[in-house]
Amino acid sequence: MSTITKIHAREVLDSRGRPTVEVDIQVNGKLAGRAIVPSGASTGAAEALELRDGDAARYDGLGVLQAVANVNEKIASALVGTDPTQQSVVDEKLLELDATPQKSQLGANAILGVSLAAAHAGAALQNIPLYLHINKMLSALRDDKDPVPAPRMPLPMTNMISGGLHAGGNLDFQDVLIMPIGAADYRTGLEWTVRIYNRLGELLTAAGYEGRLVGDEGGFGPRLESNEQAIELVVQAIEAAHLRPGEDVTIALDVAATHFFEAGRYRLASEGGVQLTSDELVDRLANWVDKYPITSIEDALAEEDWSGWQTLTAGLASECN
């Protein structure tokens, strides 16, 4: 049996230039797994805690030296000697080390970094890709009556126009994305995505918008006149790429509505500060689903708007995800 002989964490910068945790796991003295912890721009109130140092003199308080120290000083000693191919054992030990609901003692960034690095190490020790290792672990947990499906290539969902926290608040909605549902294979879907993205940049430039400025996830970040205009432009880009909206390619929205929910209303700053009730926002989304080829909506309402979510689910669950 191969066991973990060393765990080492360090502070690195992510794609947004913000500090995050990177973890190395060694097995028998050799590097077996490495992982870096992702960090989203928009997070929910109930999400596990990213432990930040709070030292304003370093990275505006966003440093993660304490989380790094928690890996090197507390987690490492507890996991040395553990078999990294036994992911459930690794994760159970991590959960035992921090039993707080949001992992606020050690930091979710510390815990997740180690868990991810162990998964990579487990896959490497078996000489299989990470996705196959995960599939094998899931299969072992399920019985023959409820088998895990064989792995298959996922459908890409790619950002075309960004707003919200991804692009400095130029729009209220966070992302307008596309999904190449009609592509015969991933290679074709990727080519379609690039083609649409290029046509969209040309359309934005021709219309006098910022057709070369992008948000922090790669989508264009133009200052448009409304959130709906972003959808319209993406549909035009699909058509300009000689593809069929709704048949070849559909649209996904990431509304991230919590970030513009104020005093029980949804305030759309990019549309002159208009304020919508939950029902009015749901009606707007429902009208767009009828009008445009939208098949997925993420975070359509604020995370605590429970009655609004019931209305949304009742009205749109059968039409989009």
CATH for 158-316 is 3.20.20.120
Residue 30: which pLDDT band, with cuts at 50, 70 and 90? Answer: very high
Quick one: fold of 4-141?
Enolase-like; domain 1 (3.30.390)
What does the block give as tokens for 249? 């390619």
What does the block give as tokens for 203? 């359309």
Query: In sequence order, which residues have a C-beta less than 8 Å from that of residue 120 and are 6 or more positions away?
Result: 25, 32, 33, 34, 35, 130
Q: For residue 64, what pLDDT is reported?
A: 97
> What is the SS3 assignment for 177?
strand
Decide: 135 and 151 in contact? Cβ < 8 Å. yes
Q: Can you list the positions of beta strands (E) in the chain?
A: 4-13, 19-27, 30-36, 158-162, 175-179, 250-254, 261-262, 265-268, 274-276, 294-298
pLDDT, mean of residues 6-19: 94
The answer on pLDDT for 61 being more than 60 is: yes
- 28 vs 65: which has the higher pLDDT: 65
Q: What is the pLDDT of residues 169-194, one digit of tens each?
A: 678 899 999 999 999 999 999 999 99
Strands 250-254 and 294-298: parallel
> What is the SS3 assignment for 189?
helix
Q: For residue 191, what pLDDT is reported?
A: 97
Query: Lowest-pLDDT range, 23-37, 47-61, 141-155, 216-230?
Result: 141-155
Task: Write down the domain spans for the chain.
Answer: 4-141, 158-316
Taking only Cα atoms into account, the Rg of the chain, rounded to an integer number of angstroms, comes to: 22
